[in-house]
Each structure stands twice: as structure tokens, then as C-alpha cells.
Amino acid sequence: MALIPKFVGERVKRREDPRLITGTATYVDDVRLPGMLSAVVLRSPHAHAKINSIDVEAARKMPGIAAVLTGEDTKDKIGSLPCVAQAEHIPFHPVLAQGKVRYVGEPVVLAVATDPYRAHDALELVEIDYEPLDGVVDPEKALNAEAPLIHEQFGNNLVVRVEVPHPAAEDAIRSADRTIRFRLVNQRLAPMSIEPRGVVAQWHAASQQLTVWSSTQIPHLLRSALAGALRLGENRVRVIAPEVGGGFGCKLNVYREEVLTAYLAVTLNRPVKWIEHRRENFAATTHGRDQITYLEVAVKNDGIVLGIKARFICDMGAYLQLFTPAIPGFSGLMMSGCYKIPAISFSQEMVFTNKMATDAYRGAGRPEAAYITERTMDMVAVELGLDPAEIRRRNFIPKDAFPYTTATGLVYDSGNYGFAFEKALDIIDYKKARADQEAARKRGRLIGIGLASYVELCGMGPSSMLPPGVPGWESSTVRIEPDCKITVLTGISPHGQGQETTFAQMVADALGIDIDDVTVLHGDTAIVQYGVGTFGSRGLALGGTALMMSIGKLQEKLKKIASTMMEAPPDQLTFFNRTIALTNDLDRAIPLQRVVTAAYDYKQPIPGMEPGLDEKSFFEPSGFTFPFGAHVAIVEVDADTGIVKFLRYVAVDDCGRIISPLLVEGQVHGGIAQGIGQALYEEVVYDESGQLLTATLMDYAVPRADMLPHYELANTVTPSPLNPMGVKGVGEAGTIGSTPCVVNAVMDALTPLGIRHIDMPLKPDKIWRAIRDARAGNGA
Amino acid sequence: MRINLTLNGQRRDDDVEPRILLVHYIREIAGLTGTHVGCESTLCGACTVLMDGKAVKSCTVLAVQAYGNQITTVEGLAQEDKLHPIQEGFWEEHGLQCGYCTPGMMMAAADLLSRNTNPSEPEIRHAIEGNLCRCTGYQHIIKAVQYAAKKMRGADNKSAA
């Protein structure tokens, strides 16, 4: 019999792909149900306005209209959308505007019709008497006493103020040779998954069962939220995440349209579908980042960082979505980066503005921190006249210091920052790159070399460290069917991350079977035990560990059964090539099928053991995992146009042990693309009156293939001690390293002109202006 | 309005609302949901199909404009049970993650490879600049297209021999 190969660590084609490349997968807009109605939302054109009246009578009378709802209709029927984060001021979050609108795009009226076109036509007949109010979009202005109040009941626009002092921070500044002060902006971004949001809901009145298909990252959490909002038992609500076309954090949430669609399906007793248009997606799907940070960095002349004090102003938007005020906390906590900074203190003011809510977006608070630490390192290097590589070396947490507790109280599981860093410098040939840069500069070229050494917090996460209502554990069921095929039910909800493949690899190797013998199911709350979902780079670290736990239970049971059949102790048995064999003599083996049949047929009862082969596990992690790495970029800036060209891009990432190398590459590539997007291209812009200026892909520059470099990837492997596989997670890491790497590269190119800093995105006109101003200042 | 066209090799005859977009015709009337909608304004490329062999964004074509034309969608790439080299390439090279942009991306690749049998990396990047991908960072898509190009050149050589 041919030997089954090992799958873990090998380049394996994805099991997800056949349905995706043939166009036969089902995304939410592909769900078609008999009698299905279409819902369309009418949204606020004002950033801040009183609603004096809404007249929907003409709309209701249109042919084909099943319902037209306003905030008045839903007021006492549907509760507030949930926000699980802790904050002083959590406003009621209505599914349809009540009394006031607070951001452009806020849902005001919902029409349901036999087709979307009729619904749109009906909404044209809705008359709303708005009384525009002064609004505020600048979070720093929103903190002023004279700023218009977005939620009057709070008396100010503060969501919460958090202070995390450090006893040694003031001393650090006092004993510094220099204190460097600057302001950094992590601009507002749109996650921009290629598939916008969408929901289909179906109610079966006789059985009192609700089924909801939603393009979501968190089917079980969403089920809990919908059941709560509609006052149904959770055992009567089924949520299905069909194929999901990207999430990146914006689908890690509970949205008004999800609750409304479900509510309508129940009240109308007809299936209802709502599909988001791209404009709506830009206006009313959560945005990412949007933090201003004032930094005081205390340094010695040799570049050692003694301490950092930071003041964050974080733009929450007008309402709080599921995690909105919880995101900035990660930014403060991660400010140590890869460095042994002894004192870090920070304050964070989270502020209401007349904009869409911010929430998790790839990295969720950690990219902001990495940008802060890595920009800091480079700016300090320039100020002190040191090589940016050398300043990092002097401050790195050494490899023997792990587990390392940072000045902010985080415990880094394992790391070897210097090693990954030197590897990246090696690959790019740093010495030669600097020499080439010197020569190029003499010829007037603006060449820049950018470094970023990052560490990031993921594997979300210990339940005690996540907000109430959001557990951090993950679940897995592994079932061996009577015919020896395997079914895995995982509580994570992958949407491109590939666990149907990685989990099959792991099961195949553990049980000595073929990867094609394993099927992985996810995303259906009627099939899969309660799980938490896919976000925060937790799929493999947490979902995979729960999987290993269930596999372990099955292995133990199978070995016990085999042991009675083979008269050998269980601890001398191994799984090999569809058999259970003696570890020391693989020829003495029985077919796995025989053991499985014994467990099901149960002709010989096995003392102390139940029939069947079905094991469930729940893994609670003891800490966050901390992937890390070093990115280096070489760029050239065209002084006449401000355009940045990539000459090289090198990324060395360490996600612990690698199960699926091809998939790790894919995650890093995609992450880098989004990080470069933040550095150079993307920005959600509201004008002063709160109008969204970036509501189409003409205005919001998601990077295209010709806007990105070729990536040269490498890995180091520093296993995590926190799970048996030693994996750390890699879904967000690329995004975290790339943004500061690219900004540092561009700023390094401009350093000879005396340009200290430019805020992201480093668009051509900004760069061009800075160069022009610098040259004018120098009398050029 | 009555229109007839050929969709993935099958002749179709339908009575359509004159304003219906080709993408909605494909998805709703012909019932082929492999072609996706990612924006409503020509910019994301998820809806790319071939019209008489040339890539078009079906969200910006009225169904009636396709009268008498040959339309090929992702469902028409494979021949019976045999995957098209482009589909093979995307599978081999991990050219997709969530899969939403993939049908349109593959059709854009098909257009490119019908014009250029050995495209360089910059040529591929340029050819797919009308197709947004948020997951892959494009690098494995480029490898997928190069794989397909190589396979299609090989097949052509074989048939020429």
C-alpha cells in the first residue's frame, strides 16, 4: 500500500478552492428563497440633524411594498445594538434613527418590497423634515467645551477617558539626555472587503425558528445578539455564515441591518434579503484606526529609550459598535514594541464625532502601536544622528528575556527580535543598500531605506482579558464516522484563511490518514457547537489547539480499543498509514477501520468506555501570542511628482511553527498590501460638515496590482509555549510591520531635505509639497 | 425587450427589462451566481466576464448591449470536468483566499492570455489593475497567471507538433 505522505509543514493545495474557482460557492447574495423580499435602507444625508417628521405614507402605498419602517416603528420593539466594551458613556444604539441623525449614512427608513428596484422607488417618496445641526468631525475639537453635543445626555463628547500611568515615566523624562516630542496620526481607513455586507433572514412561523444568513465573521456571537434583540430563545435561532468575501474585522460585528432584516422576516413571515451597495459600505460599515497620538520620548544620547509618555485621542464615531472603545487599549498596551523600554505611561480619550463608528480592522489597535514605536525609533535615530538599525539593536528585548513582561504589563510569550531583524538586513544587504543610497544621493536621487521591527498581540485571547459577553476560548468537535472518514466542526469562521485545509492537514497527520478523508465544517450554528469566530489571528492558535485537544481524546480512545485487540499497551501504539501499529514495529498493525467499527458496532463492550467516536473540546488560552518580524523596504521618491516607487520589499516574519507554508505566505502578502495601503494610499475623509468624501472606489484608493511591490518573504521560527503546536497566528502580522516600514522608507528618502515627518497617507501631492516647501525654506 | 445571446456556449432567448445590467441578467435571469458584484461603479472588477472574448465589467454593460454576443463567465471556463489552466493555476499557486474577486480576476486573466501568451510580471500587474483583490496582495495571482500561461503554451506546442 502506498505510504500516505505527511501534510503538516508541506505545500498543500487548498480544499476550499474547487468551489471558489468554479463559481459554485454560495455567498449571501447567492441565497435565493421562494417568496423572498428585498430590503433597502434610506440613509441620512446629514452628519447631524434633528428629525422633525418622517412621512412614509406614499411609500407604503406603492405596489409591491410589504413594509416601510422608521425609528418610531422600531422604538419599543427592538433594543439597542450591543457594545461589549467598557466605557463611561455608551449611548443607546437604535436600529433606525430616533429623533436625530448623527452621521452621514445612518439608517433612517427601511423599505421592503418584492424587488429592490421597487423598494428604491418607494424610498424616493419618503419625505423627511430634517433640521440640520452643527456637527463636529475633528476629535480634538469635539473635546472642546463649545463643541456641539452628539449625545446630549452625556454633557460632553467623551466616550471614556483611560489613564494608564507608570511610576517611573516622569523620572525617565527627567533623567533623559533628550526628550523628543511629536504628533502622529493613524488615519481612518475602510476595511473594504470586496464583498460588501449582506443578510438574508427566514422565519418559520409554525416551528418558531429563525434562520439568518449573514456575511459575518462571528456566527455564534451574532446568534446570541440577534436572539437577544428579538427576544427569541437562542435554540430557535440559526445563523449561517455562507461563503464570506473578506472581513478584515468589519464583519466582526453586529449591525443594524442584520437585526432589522431578521426582525422583518419574523414580522412579515416572509424571507427578507438586504445586500449592501459599495457606497453604503463606505458610509455605514465600520472604519478602522483613526487615532491621534502625542508622544514624549525620553532618550539617552546613545539611543537607549528610557521612557515614553503618550496621549491618545481616538475617534469613535457617532455610535459605538461591538468593540469600538476596546480597540485603542491594544495600542497603548503594545507601545513597548520589540524594545525593553522601562517606563511607558499613556492616556486615551475616546471621543464621539459625527462619523461612522470605528471598530476592528486588521490589527485592531496593534498597527497603530507599531507605527508609533517604529516611527519613534526612526525619528529618534535621525535626531541623535544614529543608524536606525543600530538604535533598534541597542533597545531590543534580548532573546533570553522571555517570557518578557513589558512596562505596560503584557507578557510576551516568546521572541527573538534581533534574529529576525538581522535576517532581514542580511537579505536586503543593508550595508550595500546604504552605500548605494549614499552614491545615489550624490547624484540627486531620493532613495530611502525603511526599517520596521514589529511584535504584535494576537491569538485573541484569554477570556478574562476580553470584554464581557465575548469569550476568548475556541471549540472543536472531531468525529470519526463509521466508515473511518473524519468530520471536524470548528467554532472559528474562516473566510479565506484556509482552515478547511490546515485542520485537515493536522487531523490527517495525527491519525495517519489522507487529507482527503477529512471534512471541516464551520459557520453554521445548527451544526457547530458554540464557538467564537475568526478574528484577531486566532484561527490556528486557538481553533487549532481545540482541534488538537479533540484529536488527542480520540487518539486515546482509539488506542485503548486497539490495545485490547492487539494485546499491546496503548502507549506503545501509533497511527500509521490507516493502521494502528506498534511504534517499534510498524508491520504489527491493525487497520484503523477495524478499530472504528469496533467503537460503533460495539459487539465487544469496552469497559469504562462509551460507544462512538465523537469528541468535543474547548480551549481557553492562558495568554496572547506574540508573532513578530522585521520588514525592510527600499524606495525611490520622484521629486517632481511625489510618487513613491518600490525598489525592494523584504519581510521576515515569525509566526511560530508553520503548518501550511503556502497559506502563511498568502496571509503575509495580503497583510503587507493593506499596510502599504495605509502608508501610501488610503484614507477615509469627511469634510468639515461631516459629508463623506470617500464614498466610492474612485476616491478611496485600495491598492491595485500595479501599486504594490513584489514581496520577498522569509521566516524565522520561534515557537509559542502557549499551545502544543507552538503557533502564534499570522493573519494581521503583515499589516503591522509594513505600514511603518514604508513610511520610514519614504521619510528616510526625504531626510537629506530636512523633512522631519509627513502624516499618512504619503500621497504624491503631500510629498511633493513637503519637498517644495523644504527646498524653498533652504533658498533652493 | 427580447434579447438573445450565447452564454457559456448555450443560446439563450429572454424577455428582459431594458435597463437590466448584464451582471444582473447573468445572476438573476440566467441563474449563474459565480459572477459577483463588489461595487456599483465599474471600479472593482469582481463582475468581469468575457464578451466576444474581451473582458468587460458586466456591471457597466446593459444586458441589451450583449445582444447577439458570446458571453463567457467563470462557469464556462471548465470544459466538462476538466478545469481550465487558469483555474488550475489559481488552485496550484494559492491565487485566492476568500474567492470573491476570483471569478472576475480569472476572466481578466483569460483576456490577457488570449493576447499575450507569455506575460511578464509587470504586464500581468497592468492587465489586472482593473480587478481589486483585498486578500492576496496579488503576488500569488501573478504566479497563478504565469502558471496558466506556461500550461497553455505547452498545450499549444503539443497540438502544433
Q: Could you tell me if residue B161 is inside a domain?
A: no
pLDDT tens per residue, range A148-158:
999 999 999 99
Residue B161's pLDDT is: 41
Residues of chain A numbered 471-500 and touching chain B (CB < 8 Å): 495-498
User: Which residues make Cβ contacts (< 8 Å) with residue A103, sequence separation at least 6?
Assistant: A44, A47, A48, A283, A317, A318, A319, A354, A355, A356, A690
Are residues B70 and B99 located together in one domain of the fold?
no
State mean pLDDT over B98-116. 98
**In whole angstroms, what is the distance from residue B143 CA to residue B93 CA?**
6
The residue type at A303:
G
Greatest Cα pair distance in chain B: 50
- List of chain B residues whose C-beta atoms are within 8 Å of the C-beta of residue A523: none
Residue A722's pLDDT is: 95
**Interface pTM (ipTM) of the complex?**
0.97
Residues of chain A numbered 3-32 and touching chain B (CB < 8 Å): 13-14, 16-27, 29-30
pLDDT tens per residue, range A149-207:
999 999 999 999 999 999 999 999 999 999 999 999 999 999 999 999 999 999 999 99
Q: Could you tell me if residue B129 is inside a domain?
A: yes
Q: Could you tell me if residue B61 is inside a domain?
A: yes
CB contact under 8 Å between A246 and B139, yes or no, is: no
Q: What is the CATH number of the domain that holds B121?
A: 1.10.150.120
Structural domains of chain A ordered from first start: 31-133+194-246+251-284 (3.90.1170.50), 288-460+623-777 (3.30.365.10), 473-619 (3.30.365.10)
Are residues B29 and B56 located together in one domain of the fold?
yes
Q: What is the CATH number of the domain that holds B70?
A: 3.10.20.30
Whether A183 has its CB under 8 Å from any CB of chain B: the answer is no
Q: Which DSSP letter does residue A711 get?
A: P
- List of chain A residues whose C-beta atoms are within 8 Å of the C-beta of residue B83: 21-22
Place of cell 427576544: A231
Residue B160's pLDDT is: 45
**Is A413 exposed, middle or buried, given 0-12, 13-18 or 19+ CB atoms closer than 10 A?**
buried
Q: What are the distances in angstroms from CA A29 to CA A246, A751, B135?
A: 14, 50, 20
Three-state SS at B30? coil
Sign of the dihedral defined by the CA atoms of residues A599, A603, A605, A606, in that order: negative
- List of chain A residues whose C-beta atoms are within 8 Å of the C-beta of residue B133: 194, 705
Are residues B61 and B107 located together in one domain of the fold?
no
**In whole angstroms, what is the distance from residue A484 CA to residue A580 CA?**
13
- List of chain B residues whose C-beta atoms are within 8 Å of the C-beta of residue A27: 33, 36, 100
Say which residue, B80 or A642, is predicted with more confidence. Answer: A642
Question: Which regions in chain A score pLDDT beneath 70?
Answer: 1-2, 778-780
- List of chain B residues whose C-beta atoms are within 8 Å of the C-beta of residue A22: 34, 74-75, 77-78, 83, 87
CB contact under 8 Å between A708 and B135, yes or no, is: no
Are residues B50 and B15 located together in one domain of the fold?
yes
Last residue of a domain, one of B59, B76, B93: B76
**Average pLDDT, rounded, for chain B:** 95
Overall domain count for chain B: 2
Are residues B105 and B129 located together in one domain of the fold?
yes
Of A24, A245, A668, the CB nearest to B98: A245
Are residues B61 and B110 located together in one domain of the fold?
no
Are residues B72 and B20 located together in one domain of the fold?
yes
CB contact under 8 Å between A665 and B140, yes or no, is: yes
Last residue of a domain, one of B76, B102, B127: B76
Residue A86's pLDDT is: 86
Domain that holds residue B147: 85-156
pLDDT tens per residue, range A280-305:
999 999 999 999 999 999 999 999 99
Last residue of a domain, one of B25, B45, B76: B76
Closest-CA residue in chain B for A676?
B137
